[in-house]
């Protein structure tokens, strides 16, 4: 129940690192949230769970060349860690073979060797300390209690969360030559 906050995460602002294995095969990491070694992601929204370093929130995309190897570093004890394997033929985590299009819950506090199969692999890593709050949800609304859900419904029906200031309900603006984000106050933001 905090004021909404919008930040645009332009591809150019998301730090990345390429790591080569002993055979010269490349693994590319994009650090959307959290950190990897000396690489730190852009700052999260001010009221986000991710603003506290103790929550250990990380969102990484991982692209591995065919048969590339890379070791996912250990995280802190108590962190929930999930790896989504969404592109590729197969993946090995240690001695376990993971078929394509699978999600794997991982023990966070141990380093895990990854090996792409015969094709390149793309993965999404999500991790963080659990919030330990009750969850009530209905459609796109997520709150802590049923009463909060009902209040969210009423707020939306009354104001559409502050109103929609644009001419139509399309999720994007008309296509232009340059990429941009248009804020509610009319300010235009472009990638650096």
Residue 166 is predicted with a pLDDT of: 67
What CA–CA distance (Å, rounded) separates 182 from 143? 28
Residue with tokens 């009354």: 158
Threshold 0.95, pTM exceeds = no
Radius of gyration of the chain (CA): 20
Tokens of 102: 């699978």
Mapped to the 3 state alphabet, what secondary structure does the chain carry? Answer: CCCCCCCCCCHHHCCEEEEECCCCCEEEEEEEECEECCEECCCCCCCCHHHCHHHCCEEEEEEECCCCEEEECCCCCCCEEEEEEEECCEEEECCEEEECCEEEEECCCCCEEEEECCCCEEEEEEEECCCCCCCEEECCEEECCHHHHHHHHHHHHHHCCCCCCCCCCCCCCCCCCCCCEECCCCCEECCC
In tens, the pLDDT along 47-101 reads 888 999 899 999 999 999 999 999 999 999 999 999 999 999 999 999 999 999 9
pLDDT in tens, 108-150: 999 999 999 999 999 999 999 999 999 999 988 899 999 999 9
What domains lie within the chain, and their CATH numbers? 11-128 (2.60.120.10), 136-189 (no CATH)
Structural contact between residues 143 and 152, judged by C-beta atoms closer than 8 angstroms = yes
At 83 the pLDDT is 97
Measure the CA–CA gap between 12 and 10, rounded to whole angstroms: 5
Give the angle 80-81-85 at the CA atoms, nearest 5°. 150
Contact 65, 42 (CB under 8 A): no
């Amino acid at each position: 129940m905090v004021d909404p906050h919008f930040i645009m995460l332009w591809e150019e602002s998301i730090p990345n690192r390429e790591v080569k294995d002993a055979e010269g095969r490349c693994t590319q990491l994009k650090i959307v949230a959290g950190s990897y070694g000396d690489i730190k992601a852009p700052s999260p929204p001010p009221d986000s769970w991710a603003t506290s370093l103790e929550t250990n929130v990380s969102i990484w995309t991982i692209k591995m060349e065919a048969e590339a190897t890379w070791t996912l570093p250990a995280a802190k004890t108590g962190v929930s860690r999930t790896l989504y394997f969404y592109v590729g033929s197969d993946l090995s985590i240690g001695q376990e073979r993971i078929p394509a299009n699978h999600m794997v819950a991982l023990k966070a506090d141990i380093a895990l060797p990854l090996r792409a199969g015969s094709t390149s692999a793309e993965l999404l890593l999500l991790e963080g300390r659990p919030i330990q709050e009750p969850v009530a949800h209905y459609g796109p609304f997520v709150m802590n209690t049923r009463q909060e859900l009902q209040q969210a419904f009423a707020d939306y029906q009354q104001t559409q969360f502050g109103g929609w200031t644009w001419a139509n309900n399309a999720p994007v603006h008309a296509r232009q030559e340059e990429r941009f984000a248009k804020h509610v106050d009319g300010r235009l933001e472009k990638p650096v």
